[in-house]
A = this chain, B = another copy of it.
């Protein structure tokens, strides 16, 4: 499997996640603007992957600068452009802050070294994210027993990260340990990340799976067909409240009602320790057309009004544990996360 995004010296290549699983098309981004548009249009999506893409976006933007004096302004312009692409995922802002720190570190060096330093930083972010996901996977695999059916929502797989995946990484790690497991993948309307992306990944990995519509998960839990749920995250407040793809809150409530553990898998770069609770996490509302059309064909009356919040916030009280690269964190999260840092 090719990586989600790859640095190619003077541009990045990413797989177009809108076209999967039907078509495997790779797009070249040659400018920071190309990357910003790719994030906005969800050509690349998933909180950690967005962070990696934004880092490459900054590196690309600065690589075009012709003289050192223009670098600070260009850095601010490019950062602001990428900053405004999507509001919810913490990793985007985390990566931009890290690129800013790198910029400050290298800005007094000759322009060529500044450019090289920023590219190195972006590549570090990418490499570290892949390693972090493997570590999360190893920790999380302990929560999955031989024979378990695991529910996941949206795509928190290799495509949502630099590689390997967070929630799918946990599943994958258990599978690689030889545990006989099967996955229920919520299709995840409106963008169908589950039916399209998680299914595509699980297919390639040879992990047995079923795609279900989002409204089937509760009933399968009730029927005793699901042992646990594990999802990724877009932003986690310091009390453990977790923003993730719309529908995650419902999965968590249904899991609690059926006494099924509900886990979140996420790197520390997804945590926003500046937020006391999830109430302050901005929730993106996306285009009505994502709900009204499927494959470019209208499914509602033309005049239908719709809602399209792209994320929801699951209160920490529904979360049995959060799996990070530093270990598994249990409630009360405020205390256990403090200990982790």
Contact = CB atoms under 8 A, between A and B. Distances in A.
Interface of A: 21-22, 153, 184, 186-190, 192, 195-196, 199-200, 203, 208-220, 222, 246-247, 249-250, 253-254, 257, 291-292, 294-295, 297-301, 303-307, 309, 312
B249 A211 contact: no
Contact of A253 (B203, B253, B292, B300): B253
**Copies of chain A in the complex:** 2
A299 B215 contact: no
Say what secondary structure dominates the interface of chain A: mixed
Nearest to A203: B301
Contact of A300 (B195, B295, B306): B195
B305 A210 contact: yes
A199 B301 CA distance: 7
A21 B213 contact: no
Given A187-B291, A213-B246, A291-B187, A253 B218 contact: yes
A195 B21 contact: no
Given A195-B300, A222-B249, 20 more contacts: A187-B300, A196-B300, A203-B301, A210-B307, A211-B291, A211-B292, A211-B306, A212-B306, A213-B246, A214-B215, A215-B246, A216-B246, A216-B247, A219-B246, A219-B250, A219-B312, A250-B250, A250-B254, A295-B297, A295-B299
A297 B196 CA distance: 12
Nearest to A217: B250
In the A-B complex, the 6 residue pairs with the closest CB atoms: A215-B247, A218-B250, A219-B312, A189-B213, A214-B215, A294-B294
A300 B299 CA distance: 18
Contacts of A253: 218, 253-254, 257
Contact of A203 (B295, B304, B306): B304
Nearest to A189: B213
29 contacts: A22-B298, A186-B215, A187-B299, A189-B215, A199-B300, A199-B301, A200-B301, A203-B301, A209-B305, A210-B305, A211-B300, A211-B304, A211-B305, A211-B306, A212-B306, A212-B307, A213-B291, A216-B247, A216-B307, A216-B309, A217-B250, A218-B253, A219-B246, A219-B249, A219-B309, A250-B250, A250-B254, A257-B257, A295-B295
Contacts of A222: 249, 312
B192 A213 contact: no
Given A214-B189, A214-B214, A306-B210, A21 B301 contact: yes
